[in-house]
Amino acid sequence: TRVEKALNKVEGASAEVNYATERATITGARLDHRALLEAIEHAGYGAHLHSDDEQGPEGSRSLTRRLLISAGVTLPVIVLSMIPAA
């Protein structure tokens, strides 16, 4: 892909791009963030830096709430599916 090729040309960078999630995972030592952003923009795309810690405790609470709601909806369906048809 164009973005992946552009990022891999940046010195010391190794990139994997997932267009479905609109994210690039870039590894390497002493990466120049400005050079990475410029490479992406030169490929015709926009970009911003994202960190896994960006969600913080609020994101964790949101995920926990979603898990509990999903479990609450799923358990009755499982129980009902185990009742034999009359």
Cα torsion 29, 35, 37, 38 to 10°: value is -160
Q: Looking at residues 63-82, what average pLDDT do you find? A: 94
Note the pLDDT of residue 61.
85
- List helix spans (H) across 1-86: 2-9, 33-42, 56-81
For residue 48, the model assigns a pLDDT of 86
Instruction: Return the pLDDT at 49.
Output: 83
Instruction: Please tell me the CATH code under which domain 2-81 is placed.
Output: 3.30.70.100
DSSP state of 85: P
Digit-coded pLDDT (tens) for 11-59: 999 999 998 988 899 998 888 899 999 999 999 999 888 765 555 667 7
Predicted TM-score of the model (pTM): 0.56
Does 74 score more than 70 pLDDT? Answer: yes
